Structure 1
């Protein structure tokens, strides 16, 4: 019997959440009439609530989800009704959450599947493929080409307001994303400043994007730029970012959540990779270029990445190389 209501649980950062898109579209192809809900960090999942994607996104924090990972959960009646209201529940959870599937079944879900959130360590398998293949393996996904992530009307309206505030409604925009979730993944701020300055001379209007983890990287980039410095958009939610990136001729960044969003939208996206593995984490999209030095020591383990003072894998990616790639899109 085909499910009428399905819940897919996926927690994690923005990039981890967005890489669920190929899986969501494959589930939609398999069950066109089903109501598909997502649960995790709601703001990070909201861009996936769109035509061809999910129908709703729910916040995992405060939902009782964490209680379902214990041996004897004490759930409110409201939480039991919520989780029990789905025919099928799929959870991408840590190995230690082995109680989750059993407790979801006890809530009343007829079909429950729990999978590891990441491919095994050291396996050069892309995270998006891992998520998609898990659903294919239990006949919840149908083969097909992953479409670009649509931009909703609400996202376009929010982006128009933001650009109107900056007086940039009719400019050719360049998105510069100097930060990421870890400073160890960041290309040199001076290089981002070079890209902004050079491409501004060629007619683009650069904008710097800053999230909570990007303060230092953006400040350092601005310090390398002569006045007038580009505007900075701070802490815009992913839904608004999707509307903003849609208006950009080019996006340049590190291995970060916002670059994943730009790539999924089909925007021309240049991504500098250093210590992390693009085979597992590269942004997915039709117009993505990954730039990396390809040193024998890269990719490396997290502890090595954070302890490496040389950052040679990032230093060897030059502004000239990135500029050449940028001009191929312009």
Structure 2
């Protein structure tokens, strides 16, 4: 059996799709050929798992002819597919599945694409409005539609030998401790500037952690955040505050580095979902987005969000221009939230 999964385009969404992907593999067994189509920048995230046999990369905005729409349609037409499951909500992926000759197409009836799906699932609604539900449950709904019944919401990510080798090098290069607490921090958010916590707050928080506890702070980043985390680390100016700005930034390395950390402090961004999937406690700084969308009872997390009339707005930039939702999340509030995880690690190491 040949099954095509049009996987989520965002890092965090792909992590939250893991329970559904796992259920689909369990439903069809090891004999099925499951191909996952996703963005090139997500390469390596699910490496090491047995859920997906092959990854194909597709980006409608790319200049690389290997990953463009024409190449993807041509490649799809070389396989005799049984069905496609569309994790994405876009009209584009439904058109791609039709153009690729996939006879059975399952997805949510959104973005005007219902007529292109052979099995169009109703979108959860309250009255006429789309209801915000945990994305893990939203994706599991797709799995159930093809008979892959599962209530297992547990997130997980496999580690790879390559990632472990690279993480060894990162730990050595940055003189990070092999025993003792290390707090990962992530400053960015692909959604937009409204998700970002002020750099000065990160400076204050990192300085307080390393001067009042035994913990180190490791700033992780993608290519866009490199310069920001360099500036934050320079401003803190403490040997126990380091960044990955000059280290390998592939996802396999990031997985292994997060796995070695004690806990994470992050904006509502992809790396915080990775840390959660690796079993790490996460303190998440919410501003314009809805915590319910990422809620998962299997994850150890503290979600911090200030109460304002404008929260959440769901906008990539603050429409009122004051960004109070993130400005008023104080470093002290975050420090108090992460401190128990540091203390717990100390207790365990002594024990």
Q: TM-score, normalised by structure 2?
A: 0.78
- Work out whether 1:159 is the aligned partner of 2:167: yes
Counterpart contact for 2:26–2:148, Cα < 8 Å: no
Q: What is residue 326 of structure 1 aligned with on the other side?
A: 338
- Work out whether 1:111 is the aligned partner of 2:109: no
Q: What number of residue pairs does the alignment pair up?
A: 315
Among 240, 243, 268, the residue aligned to 2:281: 268
Counterpart contact for 2:203–2:232, Cα < 8 Å: yes
Q: What is residue 20 of structure 1 aligned with on the other side?
A: 17
TM-aligned CA deviation for residue 300 of structure 1:
0.4
CA distance in 2, matches of 1:168, 1:255: 25
Structure 1 residues 22-52: Cα deviation after superposition (integer angstroms, max 9, x where no partner): 2112212322323332111144153223346
Q: What is residue 39 of structure 1 aligned with on the other side?
A: 37
CA distance in 2, matches of 1:229, 1:327: 16
Q: TM-score, normalised by structure 1?
A: 0.83
Q: 1:46 to 1:224 in 2, by over 3 A?
A: same
Counterpart contact for 2:233–2:242, Cα < 8 Å: no
Q: How does 1:29-178 map to 2 (within 5 A)?
A: 29-33=26-30, 34-44=32-42, 46-51=44-49, 53-61=51-59, 62=65, 66-67=69-70, 76=74, 78-81=75-78, 84-91=79-86, 92-95=88-91, 97-104=93-100, 106=101, 109-115=102-108, 116=110, 123-168=131-176, 170-171=178-179, 172-178=181-187
Counterpart contact for 1:46–1:238, Cα < 8 Å: yes
Structure 1 residues 37-68: Cα deviation after superposition (integer angstroms, max 9, x where no partner): 21111441532233463333221144577249
Counterpart contact for 1:187–1:315, Cα < 8 Å: yes
TM-aligned CA deviation for residue 283 of structure 1:
7.5
Q: What is residue 7 of structure 1 aligned with on the other side?
A: 4
TM-aligned CA deviation for residue 240 of structure 1:
1.1
- Work out whether 1:185 is the aligned partner of 2:195: yes
Structure 2 residue ranges without an equivalent (≥5): 60-64, 112-122, 343-351
CA distance in 1, matches of 2:84, 2:54: 14
Counterpart contact for 1:155–1:242, Cα < 8 Å: yes
Greater shift, 118-127 or 53-62, is seen at 118-127
Look up the SS of the partner of 1:38 in the other structure. strand
TM-aligned CA deviation for residue 176 of structure 1:
1.5
Look up the SS of the partner of 1:307 in the other structure. coil
- Work out whether 1:309 is the aligned partner of 2:312: no
Look up the SS of the partner of 2:257 in the other structure. helix
CA distance in 2, matches of 1:254, 1:110: 40
CA distance in 1, matches of 2:203, 2:298: 25
Structure 1 residue ranges without an equivalent (≥5): 70-74
Q: 1:226 to 1:187 in 2, by over 3 A?
A: same
Structure 1 residues 178-200: Cα deviation after superposition (integer angstroms, max 9, x where no partner): 22222221112222122211221
CA distance in 2, matches of 1:220, 1:285: 35
CA distance in 2, matches of 1:103, 1:127: 28
CA distance in 2, matches of 1:284, 1:257: 18
Q: 1:59 to 1:128 in 2, by over 3 A?
A: same
